[in-house]
Chain A
Amino acid sequence: MKFDTIIMGGGLSGLTCGIALAQRGKRVAIVAGGQNTLHFFSGSMELLGNDGNNDVENPIEAIAQLSDLHPYKIIGADTVAALAGKAKKLLADAGIETTGEATHNHYRITPMGVTKPAWLTLDGLATATQPGTLPWSKVCLINLEGFIDYPIDFAANGLSKMGAKVEIADITLDSLRRARRSATEMRPTNLAKIFTSSSSLAQLAQAINAIDTDADVVLMPAVVGIDNDDASDILRAQVQRELLMLATLPPAVPGVRINAALRHYFQMLGGRFIMGDTVTTAATQGDAVTEVRTAKLQEMPLQADDYVIATGSFMSRGLVANFERVYEPILDLDTNAPADHSLWSQYGMMGDQPYMSYGVVTDANLHPLKGGKPLANVFAIGQLLAGHNPVVMGDGTGVSMITALAVAEQIIGSTHLK
């Protein structure tokens, strides 16, 4: 099978790149293994939250402080700024409305009741404009009976430390009775599926309206709106007070929604989404890949002009660590990881773990290096890249979208030259 571009990996970066290419008429195939890190999505895209030392107010300005290995530094601050605008538009094209600016972080409110810098937040999620400061003086948190993947007492504790008066309202819903009976059924995505029916949404709205509170805002766990925004719109239309949502423990309903929306949009544009398969080998000739093979289509090699590798970090198996080394399993691309495994991590779990910023190293055009030389028709994007740290620097989703768009522009640009 022959395509213009084959993207290995169907997470945020792969989908973003695929959409940007398909929007420009490219024939694109995405080979997607299955679940991806959008399942841990907070509801906010993060461009850059911390430069390694301090929290960042203006991500674009802060790029100057980053190490030369950081993908933003490779792309350049001006280009990052331009692509950030395009990323917001791409999400909107796919039906995902967000609020936020690349030049000025706002703050998402975490399930543990602290604020973290954010770039683009999905409509309907709770945010603040200043770190550690809430826009409300009185908050009512909704506790859905039997739902334990939402540390509501920690959220309440955190919010009250930020100066809010917090009350917790327990809600027991008939529509969740069946789910409550099964020990493992009360998970965020299961609830969200129940809350797609108009009767269960009406019941939820009624229960929220019945709460006796004079709070400025009611915050509920983000378990509504798994397919699209319709369910949250229906709910909000029936609730008589301001209602916003807080992220839950995974699987994250907003992440599942974004994932589905992007995939749907990609396919609508004519993109080929090969689900539940992974690229296992790639044939090379000189400095170019000639074809790739997948686990399930063994007899049918996939060919393209350009190949994008977007297979993610360790947790997505884009990088593999064994006793001896860290490696990229498809093309054995060069990484920035040292050989000695005792250097990969350090004591103190919440510290800056070196392995987090391991990844594939590239040239200035995001062509990954293999044996020190760039592969001419291959690009590396997203969490597979070296030099950034989503957990400490708050740059994960940003790196995924920005590098994806940077590569898409290059691929489209080179077509024009041909």
Chain B
Amino acid sequence: MDNKNKHYDVIVIGGGITGAGVARDCAMRGLSVLLLERFDYTNGATGRNHGLMHSGARYAVTDKESATECIEENMILRKIARHCVEETDGLFITLPEDDLAYQQTFVDACQAAGIRADIIDPAEARIIEPSVNPALTGAVRIPDASIDPFRLTIANVIDARLHGADALNYHEVTELIISQNRVQGVKARDMHSGEIKEFYADVTINAAGIWGMLIARLAGITINMFPAKGALLIFGHRVNKMVINRCRKPANADILVPDDTVCVIGTTSDRVPIESVDDMRVTDAEVRLLLAEGEKLAPSLATTRILRAYAGVRPLVASDNDPSGRSISRGIVCLDHEQRDGMAGFITITGGKMMTYRLMAQIATDMACSKQGNTSTCQTATTPLPGSEQPVAGSASRSFAINAAQGRHGTFASKIKLETDTDRALVCECEGVSVGEIKYAVQSQHVHNLVSLRRRTRVGMGTCQGKLCACRAASLLGRFGSNVEKAQNDLAGFLDERWKGVKPVAWGSTLREAQLTATIYQGLCGLDKAITRKEGDI
């Protein structure tokens, strides 16, 4: 695609779930669209959260508007993104140290926001969710679910492209092209070649999450955002089958979510400087807090291997001087910079949550359409994402890899070729990823390196954290993507990226596995001697 100097109706900056959703909505309404992402899709907060599809119950008491948005979007996503959603339901549990009286306040608020909330007997809670802390004194069942943000984002990008959008990842916006108080387009650097390209559009939509603050600065505009770091821990297997929350005002580390083969506890919430958001490391204090609180939800976490720690940065929009960010509304903020700052052709969509990405996209797209006199209506609430057109029936008679691939790719799984023995060979045994699935992902899903391959297929995300499969996948990436040298460098980059999450929790079996991985790659293979990768390569 040669789109240098091409003119679009809309340029969307940011390949997280919001940007992908905006690109899809705009494209479905007939606008010509370019989506630009600096690294890989989902690289920011989209790829660094719980993977929780909120029912909204968490916000019911403190923020009714957010709660209502959540439950409405929750019900929509179950239909349009069924291949990304696992309908687990959730519990809000009361522990002896919590005030049981809060439970009624909570249930009333849920019902007011339209969220089904059923008080159940603690004994019944222990039966339907055996991992829950047996000391619980109360339980409420609510329609939380688990959602795969990687899959969800890619499905939006794919659909945007099916509707004619262009999408470029590894393109960083370095400058907004401004004349006569109007954003005319952007300059973007191709992160692989270093080439600077210019793209023009009637409207530029800033959907860059916390980095949106920096994008706005390029236009001389200040958005007072509140970078709130949230740290999480992933455990080596799925101890719970339902989402477990604490029935109290939102606090640290009070949600445990089952995601595919693992489970995730989080989060913390601390304000961090905007300059630090590209390199979030989880601190020892955060790990201690997450473990201590996590064990209260599900005591077996104390003896479960921690796979890794990671952190994302929420793009909250600051409204007061709350040091924790908890009381800031998770509400959606859509800024028309023509009205707000006298800068035409520029919109920022921010705030909100992954849960409400579709609604955020709709609001931003409505604004873009009205600026262009486009009167078409939003169809995203009723049109299924590709992969979710119809339910995929699982079958016990099929292989683990085929069922796993259908879970990951929905109806797209039929495009995975598994005709030869070699295609059927398993690359990742933990997650059931076949050679054929890797080939499909490399050829059809914007895979540039092992990290993006992991996000598309979950290769290396399971219990072994890429001990052997990383090498297998890197070899295949070199072969299918025909750049062996880069694939080998990618392998080192991938292992180092995994290590960044392992380092804060490197004790117990986690340290044991790390030593094993180092023994294989550094000792046996001499990967450290084989690579030509430099710091900062992508």
Contact = CB atoms under 8 A, between A and B. Distances in A.
B251 interface: no
A146 B508 contact: no
Nearest to B468: A249
Given A151-B475, A345-B511, A348-B499, 6 more contacts: A154-B484, A154-B488, A154-B530, A314-B515, A341-B506, A350-B496
11 contacts: A110-B530, A157-B485, A180-B421, A183-B400, A183-B424, A249-B471, A344-B506, A345-B511, A347-B281, A347-B500, A356-B515
Interface stretch (B72-80, B157-165, B235-243, B516-524): B516-524
Interface stretch (A111-119, A281-289, A368-376): A111-119
B506 A40 contact: no
Contact of B520 (A40, A157, A186, A350): A40
Contacts of A9: none
Given A321-B507, A355-B511, A148 B284 contact: no
Interface in A306-352: 313-315, 317, 320-323, 341-342, 344-350
Given A157-B485, A345-B506, A396 B523 contact: yes
A347 B523 contact: no
A390 interface: yes
A342 B287 CA distance: 11
Given A149-B468, A180-B422, A355 B496 contact: no
B435 interface: yes
Contact of B429 (A112, A184, A341): A184
Contacts of B522: 350, 391-392
Contacts of B424: 181, 183
A345 B518 contact: no
Contacts of B520: 40, 249-250
A40 B527 contact: no
A8 interface: no
Interface of A: 37, 40-42, 110-116, 145-146, 148-149, 151-154, 156-158, 177, 180-181, 183-184, 186, 247, 249-250, 252, 313-315, 317, 320-323, 341-342, 344-350, 353, 355-356, 390-392, 394, 396
Given A249-B468, A349-B496, A113 B518 contact: no
B478 interface: yes
A184 B429 CA distance: 8
B528 A350 contact: yes
Interface in B164-223: none
B529 A116 contact: yes
Contacts, number: 158
A158 B519 contact: no
B498 to A, nearest CB: 8
Contacts of B405: none
A156 B116 CA distance: 60
Contacts of B318: none
B520 to A, nearest CB: 6
> In the complex, which of the residues A40, A156, A394 has the most CB atoms of chain B within 10 Å of its own CB atom?
A40
Interface string B418-436: 0001101111010000110
Nearest to A340: B284
B511 A344 contact: yes
Interface string B423-464: 011110100001100000000000000000000000000000
A390 B530 contact: no
A247 to B, nearest CB: 6
Sorted from nearest, which 5 A-B pairs have the closest CB atoms? A349-B499, A180-B421, A183-B426, A110-B526, A112-B530
Given A148-B425, A350-B496, A356-B518, A321 B523 contact: no
Given A112-B488, A151-B471, A183-B426, A37 B519 contact: yes
B399 interface: yes
B100 to A, nearest CB: 32
B443 to A, nearest CB: 17
The dominant DSSP class at the B interface is helix
Contacts of A355: 506, 511, 515
Contact of B421 (A40, A181, A315, A347): A181
Nearest to B279: A347
Contact of B478 (A145, A148, A153, A345): A153
Interface of B: 281, 284, 399-401, 421-422, 424-427, 429, 434-435, 468, 471-472, 474-476, 478-479, 484-485, 487-488, 492, 495-496, 498-500, 503, 506-508, 511-516, 518-520, 522-530
Given A349-B495, A349-B496, A315 B527 contact: no
Nearest to A348: B496
A373 B20 CA distance: 65
Contact of B526 (A114, A152, A252, A347): A114
Given A315-B515, A350-B492, A355-B515, A111 B525 contact: yes
A313 B515 CA distance: 9
B478 A154 contact: yes
Contacts of A156: 484
Contact of B475 (A154, A158, A313): A154
Contacts of A349: 495-496, 498-499, 518
Contact of A148 (B472, B507, B528): B472
A156 B487 CA distance: 13
A369 to B, nearest CB: 23
> In the complex, which of the residues A186, A345, A350, A391 has the most CB atoms of chain B within 10 Å of its own CB atom?
A350
A151 B503 contact: no
A40 B519 CA distance: 8
Contacts of B496: 348-350
A110 B484 contact: no
A56 to B, nearest CB: 15
A72 to B, nearest CB: 18
A345 B513 CA distance: 13
B430 to A, nearest CB: 12
B468 A391 contact: no
B375 to A, nearest CB: 53
Contact of A184 (B426, B474, B479, B524): B426
B497 to A, nearest CB: 9
Nearest to B435: A148
> In the complex, which of the residues A40, A41, A148, A158 has the most CB atoms of chain B within 10 Å of its own CB atom?
A148
B492 A157 contact: no
A349 B533 CA distance: 14
Contacts of A317: 512
Contacts of A394: 523
A313 B518 CA distance: 13
Contacts of A114: 526, 529-530
Nearest to A46: B523
A347 B514 CA distance: 13
B79 to A, nearest CB: 33
Given A154-B475, A184-B429, A314 B529 contact: no
Contacts of A356: 515, 518
Nearest to B429: A184
B2 to A, nearest CB: 30
B435 A151 contact: no
A354 to B, nearest CB: 10
A215 B476 CA distance: 25
Contact of B523 (A186, A322, A348, A390): A390
B471 A346 contact: no
A145 B422 contact: yes
Contact of A180 (B425, B488, B500): B425
Nearest to B499: A349
A44 B348 CA distance: 60
Nearest to B284: A342
Contacts of A392: 522
A348 to B, nearest CB: 7
A158 to B, nearest CB: 6
A116 B468 CA distance: 21
A151 B523 contact: no
A366 to B, nearest CB: 22
> In the complex, which of the residues A113, A177, A321, A396 has the most CB atoms of chain B within 10 Å of its own CB atom?
A321
A247 B511 contact: no
A345 B503 contact: yes
Nearest to A390: B523
